[in-house]
Amino acid sequence: MGPYSTVATTDSYDRILSDPEVKAVAIATPAASHFTLAMAALDAGKHVLVEKPLTSALSDGEKLVHAAEERGLVLMCDHTYCYTPAVQELKRMVCGGELGEVQFIDSVRINLGLVQPDVDVLWDLAPHDISILDYLLPPGVSVTAVACHGADPIGHGMACVAYLTLKLSSGGMAHVHVNWLSPVKIRTMVVGGAHRTVVWDDLNPSQRLSVYDRGVERQASERLAAGDRKQITISYRTGDMVAPALREQEALRSMVEEFASSISEGRSPVTDGWSGLRVMHVLEAAAQSLRLDGAFVPVGQTVAATVGDDR
């Protein structure tokens, strides 16, 4: 370290945990080590921030959440995208009713690499999209079932391309595409509501959000057709597109500020351990669906698996 650094370094985790001056620990290590390191920190009385995913096994994640609650400590999962100005504005529009009832969500997160040696593309990239979905959905709406299809065309031994279809309790549907093999990098999400649709392009800093007053409307006449079905008339609404101005703010800084504030204020952070656990429930269901050749698997009714399992 340079002579002007104010950061002390050590190669001993036990030394960190035994230091009374250390009140909180951030864990950014391979997922397989999250549970052991986080539980040790909780046992030492430290607040804990964990990189996604919360743990590599659902049962371990549940243990962490309950341990933090029993000890009165903050357990937070680093779902960084939830702290971006674009996603926060999206949440405001969804929960404020500006979009109307959410009918569909399409998310694409593809790029060339980095192919991970210990996890498949599902566990590497999809936690971002699932955590955003968990954050955006209005109260009372949740993911009820997941179908996942994947492929390993390069013989890596784990899926390098995956497609997830998620059923929402509202009757809507979400779709997530993650891919390590694409020569181009794409980061987009389309949130379609009954009134408006928003396109989020995370790679376009000058226009991250585009709000379209366009959509499909159904009109039912009073006249009944054969079989007692109403005659349905479909009309297409074509309105303006608006690109709201967003403040530039570093998401990682906002996330760390939320961690510090939740500790000082004695409250749960926005992306608390329960948030991390909900994301893991969806990941586990997707992983089981992948093993079942894409069958829908109810969320919360999965057989626990670990990140290193063959998917």
Distance (Å, whole) CA 237 – CA 294: 35
pLDDT of residue 230: 57
Does 60 share its domain with 100?
A: no
CATH of residue 47:
3.40.50.720
Nearest to 277 by CA among 65, 123, 112, 73: 65
In terms of domains, do 206 and 88 share one? yes
Number of domains forming the structure of the chain: 2
Do residues 62 and 181 both lie within one domain?
no
Residues 129 and 45 in one domain: no
Instruction: Look at residue 226 and tell me if it is in a domain.
Output: no
pLDDT of residue 189: 98
Predicted model pTM: 0.88
Is residue 271 scored above 90 in pLDDT? yes
- Domain for residue 243, yes or no? no
Question: Does residue 121 share a domain with residue 47?
Answer: no
Residue 173: domain span: 81-212+279-298
* pLDDT of amino acid 101: 93
Residue 21 has pLDDT above 50, yes or no: yes
pLDDT grade for 248, boundaries at 50, 70 and 90: confident
Q: What is the CATH number of the domain that holds 105?
A: 3.30.360.10
Give backbone dihedrals phi and psi of 82, rounded to 5 degrees, phi first: -65, -10
Pair 144, 208 in one domain: yes
> β-strands 102-112, 181-193: how paired?
antiparallel
Give the separation between CA 209 and CA 201, rounded to whole angstroms. 6
Evaluate if residue 231 carries a pLDDT over 70: no
User: Would you state the pLDDT for residue 91?
Assistant: 97
Helix %, strand %, coil % of the chain (to 5) = 30, 35, 35
Given this model, what pLDDT does residue 234 score? Answer: 73
CA of residue 301 relative to chain centroid, distance: 19
What does the alpha-carbon distance between residue 190 and residue 261 come to, in Å, rounded to a whole number?
A: 31
pLDDT at position 239:
80
294 in the same domain as 173: yes
What average pLDDT score do residues 71-96 get?
97
Per the structure block, which two tokens stand in for 250? 């570093």
Give the pLDDT band (50/70/90) at residue 240.
confident
pLDDT at res. 160? 97
pLDDT at 224: 46
Distances (CA, A) of 270 to 170, 195, 295, 301: 23, 27, 32, 25
Confirm whether 5 is domain-assigned.
no
Mean pLDDT of 235-240: 78
Q: What pLDDT is attached to residue 301?
A: 54
The phi and psi torsions of 142 (rounded to 5 degrees) equal -145, 170
Q: Which residue type does 51 have?
A: E
Q: Is the pLDDT of residue 237 over 90?
A: no
What is the predicted pLDDT for the residue at 302? 46
pLDDT of residue 307: 39
For 28-48, write each residue's pLDDT tens digit. 999 999 999 999 999 999 999
- Is there a domain that residue 110 lies in? yes
Same-domain check for residues 152 and 58: no
What pLDDT score was predicted for residue 252?
95
Q: What does the pLDDT read at residue 228? A: 53
Q: Are residues 48 and 72 in the same domain?
A: yes
Pair 93, 127 in one domain: yes
Is 80 exceeded by the pLDDT of residue 229?
A: no
pLDDT tens-digit series, residues 170-187: 999 999 999 999 999 999
Do residues 53 and 134 both lie within one domain?
no
pLDDT tens for each residue of 90-148 = 999 999 999 999 999 999 999 998 998 888 999 999 999 999 999 999 989 999 999 99
Give the integer Cα–Cα distance in Å for 281 and 199: 27
Strand partners, 51: 78
Three-state secondary-structure class, residue 195: coil
Residue 66's H or E segment, with its range, is helix 58-71
Residue 230 lies in a domain: no
Q: What is the pLDDT of residue 217?
A: 73
pLDDT confidence tier of residue 232, bands split at 50, 70 and 90: low
DSSP code string of 275-295 = HHHHHHHHHHHHHHHHHTTT-
Are residue 264 and residue 143 in the same domain, yes or no? no
Query: What pLDDT, on a 0 to 100 scale, did the predictor assign at position 311?
Result: 32
Q: 223 pLDDT exceeds 70? A: no
